Structure 1
Amino acid sequence: MTESDAAPRLADQDLAALVAEWLDWSEAAEALGVTVGKVRTLVREHQLAQAVPTLGVKGGGQRIPALFLDGGEIVKGLPGILTVLHDGGYDDREAIAWLFLDADLPGRPIDALRENRGSEAKRRAQAMAL
Structure 2
Amino acid sequence: MDPKDDVVQAWLTIPEVAERLSVRVTAVRRLLEDRDLVAVRRGERRVLSIPAGFLDDDGPVAALKGTFTVLADGGFDDEEIIDWLHAPDPSWPAGENALGAIRAGFKTEVRRRAMEEAM
TM-score using structure 2 length: 0.84
What is the CA RMSD across the aligned residues, in angstroms? 2.0
Kindly tell me the number of residue pairs found equivalent between the two proteins. Answer: 116
Aligned to 2:85: 99
**SS of 2:6's equivalent?**
helix
Q: 1:62 to 1:34 in 2, by over 3 A?
A: same
**SS of 2:9's equivalent?**
coil
Partners of 1:58 and 1:65 in 2: CA distance: 17
User: Given that residues 36 and 62 in structure 2 are in contact (C-alpha distance below 8 angstroms), is that contact kept between their aligned partners in structure 1?
Assistant: no
Aligned to 1:27: 16
Matches within 5 A, 1:114-125: 114-125=103-114
Q: 1:67 to 1:114 in 2, by over 3 A?
A: same
User: Given that residues 37 and 54 in structure 2 are in contact (C-alpha distance below 8 angstroms), is that contact kept between their aligned partners in structure 1?
Assistant: yes
- Structure 1: gaps of 5 or more residues: 1-11
Larger Rg computed on CA atoms: 1
TM superposition shift of 1:16: 6.2
Segments of 4+ in structure 1 off by > 4 A? 12-16
- Percent of matched pairs sharing the same residue: 36
- Structure 2: gaps of 5 or more residues: none
Q: Quick one: which of 22, 36, 51 aligns to 1:47? A: 36
Is 2:55 the partner of 1:69?
Answer: yes
Aligned to 2:25: 36
TM superposition shift of 1:84: 1.0
What amino acid is aligned across from residue 78 of structure 1 in structure 2? L
**SS of 1:62's equivalent?**
strand
Partners of 1:68 and 1:120 in 2: CA distance: 18
Partners of 1:78 and 1:84 in 2: CA distance: 10
TM superposition shift of 1:15: 7.5
Output one character per residue of 1:11-70: Cα deviation in whole Å (capped at 9) or x when no partner.
x675763111110001112222322112112112221010134xxx42241100000001
Partners of 2:53 and 2:45 in 1: CA distance: 22
